[in-house]
Amino acid sequence: DVKVTQSSRYLVKRTGEKVFLECVQDMDHENMFWYRQDPGLGLRLIYFSYDVKMKEKGDIPEGYSVSREKKERFSLILESASTNQTSMYLCASRGTGRVNEQYFGPGTRLTVT
């Protein structure tokens, strides 16, 4: 069974703080993704990575950066958290099968005050 874990389920940070969200997958997948989920807006792609040290911007990368130093780990960084980054953050990984299913972690609910 594929497992995608995220470092925290709930996080509360202050405006201006640097925030790290960690994601680890155990299936040796090349592709990993960070999304944010907001009510009525579905999932929006922030960044993705198709290999170690490789990253590509998604639809809403502003205010975020990422790091992929090891294949199993993909980190999302908020350099200076703002209240409009209060959201649910979901990490996913994807293998190379025909269906290309994405496997999701449980999410981190981040509140920036």
Partner 1 sequence: GEDVEQSLFLSVREGDSSVINCTYTDSSSTYLYWYKQEPGAGLQLLTYIFSNMDMKQDQRLTVLLNKKDKHLSLRIADTQTGDSAIYFCAERNAGNMLTFGGGTRLMVKP
> Is residue 77 near partner 1 by the rule CB under 8 A?
no
Q: Across the strands, what pairs with 89? A: 36, 108
Q: Confirm or reject binding of residue 41 to partner 1 (CB under 8 A).
A: yes
The residue (of 11 and 104) whose beta carbon lies closer to partner 1 is 104
User: Which range binds partner 1 by CB under 8 A, 11-19, 63-71, 72-80, 98-106?
Assistant: 98-106
Site membership for partner 1, residue 100 (CB under 8 A): yes
**DSSP for 73-110?**
EEEEEESS--GGG-EEEEEEEE-SSSS--EEE---EEE
Q: Is 104 in the site for partner 1 (CB under 8 A)?
A: yes
Please identify which residue in the block is written with the tokens 């990993």.
32
